[in-house]
A and B are shown apart, each in its own frame.
Chain A
């Protein structure tokens, strides 16, 4: 038996994570096309994130996989040289600004482009709900984005599963 969260809009990812921290369930699946939004959030054990988009390579943001080049650069910059230390300081200073800005831009782009592919996304969400219900019996659907509510209700009413907005 599982509870399912649907959240297409990544800006409320922290609300989603906090909800399940306060209302724990043994098994939760979060259906979201923006898995990276959960990267810095503490998700409880038993909470899994799944993308509804089949072409998206799912990358668990909780596991970091630094590239070889990055590893080489780190080794060099921490080798003890002053220039290495200054290089790392410069990269770190630039990278947090870029990450902050990039996330802001990426989320903004997602908001703006949402309307275009929302219908396609929701068809896939519906398929994923069907697969999940077949394998594990969904007992509750929680939406954190009211734009996901029509599809959640359609599925919930078809299978007598309660739906909440939180």
Chain B
């Protein structure tokens, strides 16, 4: 069986984390003996209006000289520069993807039994226009609400769901948005298939202390990922409960300079460790050093880093962000605590202190077993292969 995966999110030299969950799926499929090719259409922002002929001609000319000059390969995936005019909206983005993928396939054709698109729009929508079939789709994006909120893109999105041979969302949070927009008739075409959480490089450690004072956050350091609440909560905890507490941030992002300035202004610099972006294989060693994982992003579609923290035996302090309730909400007491979205920094700090004072309900062994059973590579891959075989039949 040959599967062609098409995804705009995939790790590369600019971001080790982007689309890591897609790569984990690809790796797991290959390990299961499936022949997988990967295409990565990448947005190249362009001015508003049609892409000038001189630009498309230059791209074609460069590819004629040597296709690798433009359609380069990184991590066994073929990258496709896709000029997307600004203000073209999601529909425009989808059309731009279709044009660039078609251009790339002139030089590097694809021969697959099934196409698996990640993101309903722009990816699956573009592939649907190109006639890729059978087509399996997985939706991940937290901006789905914006797509569905625009009549033009919503209509295209609905058509994509209806024409796909299988359509998945990684969490019920996303599926609920589709049902809310299009009703149950379309909602019934959508199933849940979570991302893989691969714990093979993440050692389970039973912590002997319940100090909750070695915090860790893994992910993008950005305002929409709760970076500000994280620092303010840590500041409150250090001030009110444990001045020896430390915070390790693994990841990069636009809010890092603010984090450094905030820490400096509040005398927290000696307690802050900025590890920067790290390859995913090294995450285990950082988790091992911590005794609390704090994830205060207000919106997540899945929340893989929390699940990896659970796999490492860490208690998880998370906002109710959609993905967290969906992924481990029924195991909240064993895993950690879910805090209301509008919680103030002092409230977050006090929740952690309360858990520290009474951790009796935490059960890291049970929590890790839940992650392995629900999100382990073989569980997800078996469901994927079953789907591929069904749509090929």
Q: Which residues of A contact B (CB under 8 A)?
A: 9, 11-12, 14-15, 18-19, 21-22, 40, 88-89, 92, 96, 100, 108, 111-112, 114-115, 118, 145-147, 149-150, 153, 162-166
Interface size in chain B (residues, C-beta < 8 A): 32
Q: Across the interface, do A115 and B49 meet the contact criterion of CB distance under 8 Å?
A: yes
Cβ–Cβ < 8 Å partners of B14 in chain A? 14-15, 18-19
Ranked nearest first, the 10 interchain pairs of A and B with the lowest CB-CB distance are: A18-B14, A22-B13, A149-B58, A150-B58, A15-B14, A115-B47, A96-B258, A165-B70, A18-B13, A114-B47
Give complex CA distance A115, B61 in Å: 22
Docked complex: B247-262 residues within 8 A CB-CB of A: 254-258, 261-262
Q: Across the interface, do B83 and A146 meet the contact criterion of CB distance under 8 Å?
A: yes
Q: Across the interface, do B81 and A100 meet the contact criterion of CB distance under 8 Å?
A: no
Q: A92-B265, A163-B69 are in contact. Are A9 and B58 (CB under 8 A)?
A: no
Cβ–Cβ < 8 Å partners of A92 in chain B? 261-262, 265
Cβ–Cβ < 8 Å partners of A153 in chain B? 58, 61-62
Give complex CA distance A11, B177 in Å: 30
Q: Across the interface, do B265 and A146 meet the contact criterion of CB distance under 8 Å?
A: no
Docked complex: B184-229 residues within 8 A CB-CB of A: 223
Q: Across the interface, do A147 and B61 meet the contact criterion of CB distance under 8 Å?
A: no
Give complex CA distance A92, B255 in Å: 13
Q: A92-B262, A112-B47, A147-B47 are in contact. Are A164 and B72 (CB under 8 A)?
A: yes
Docked complex: B36-70 residues within 8 A CB-CB of A: 44-49, 54-55, 57-59, 61-62, 69-70
9 A/B residue pairs, CB under 8 Å, sorted by A:
A9-B45, A40-B256, A92-B262, A92-B265, A112-B86, A115-B47, A118-B47, A146-B44, A164-B69
Cβ–Cβ < 8 Å partners of B265 in chain A? 88-89, 92
Cβ–Cβ < 8 Å partners of A118 in chain B? 47
Give complex CA distance A22, B59 in Å: 24
Contact of A150 among B46, B54, B255 (CB under 8 A): B54
What DSSP secondary structure best describes chain A's contact surface? helix
Cβ–Cβ < 8 Å partners of B83 in chain A? 146-147
Give complex CA distance A164, B74 in Å: 14
Smallest Cβ distance from B155 to chain A, in angstroms? Answer: 27
Cβ–Cβ < 8 Å partners of A9 in chain B? 44-46
Cβ–Cβ < 8 Å partners of A149 in chain B? 55, 58-59, 62
Q: Across the interface, do A162 and B69 meet the contact criterion of CB distance under 8 Å?
A: yes
Give complex CA distance A150, B70 in Å: 13
Told that A12-B44, A150-B57, A166-B72 touch, could you supply 17 new A-B pairs with CB distance under 8 A?
A: A9-B45, A14-B14, A15-B14, A19-B13, A96-B255, A96-B261, A100-B254, A111-B46, A111-B86, A112-B86, A115-B47, A115-B49, A146-B55, A146-B59, A146-B81, A149-B58, A150-B54
Q: Across the interface, do A165 and B69 meet the contact criterion of CB distance under 8 Å?
A: yes
Smallest Cβ distance from B277 to chain A, in angstroms? Answer: 9
Q: A146-B58, A146-B59 are in contact. Are A112 and B48 (CB under 8 A)?
A: yes
User: When each residue 285-329 of chain B gets 1 if its CB lies under 8 Å from chain A and 0 otherwise, what string results?
Assistant: 000000000000000000000000000000000000000000000
